[in-house]
Amino acid sequence: MVLVSRKNRKLILEYLFKEGVVTVAKDGMKAKHEHIDVPNLHVMMVMKSLTSRDYVKQKFNWQWFYYFLSDSGIEYLREVLSLPPQVFPATLTKQTRPTRSGQPMDDDDRPKGKGKKGGKGKGKGGGGWARGKGGYDGEAEKEEAPAAE
């Protein structure tokens, strides 16, 4: 059992509410957490406690734990941290990306690209089997440019 001080617990909970997500390396003996100035083991234990109460959802991938704040967790942290109801985690706030002109971009303003279509035969090396003598480009090679006088 690990005892987590109130100061460290508050730092962890504030970071969780601010970001909405916390990542923790599986190596619990790592000295400090990457983003919070507390031991990694303390972050693991606080997140384990919140997971058991369904305040966060846990995912594990490639030796990392990912903890996502749930709706009930948001309410719990607002109560514990004495936050007003109009404050939300970063994962729930919509961020607008400015365009080159400085205006926010709507869906209609997004550039329409070709994607993967239409890219055949362009680039280094040309069009493969269709190029060369007798291919469809062979007709173009037979035409001669008018002689310059």
Q: Please, how many CA atoms are within 13 Å of residue 59, restricted to the half-sphere of its CB?
A: 9
- Mean residue pLDDT of the chain comes to 76
Tens digits of residue pLDDT in 32-86: 888 888 988 898 999 999 999 999 999 999 988 999 999 999 899 888 888 888 8
In the block, tokens 């966060």 appear at 56
CA 131 to chain centre: 43
> Using N-to-C axis directions, what is the helix angle for 71-81 and 6-19, rounded to 10°?
130
Q: Per-residue pLDDT tens for 18-35?
A: 888 998 888 766 688 888
Rounded Cα gap, residues 92 and 147, in angstroms: 69
Domains of the chain with bracketed CATH? 6-80 (1.10.10.10)
Which residue type sits at 139?
Answer: E
Q: Quote the CA–CA distance of 58 and 47 in Å, as a whole number.
A: 9
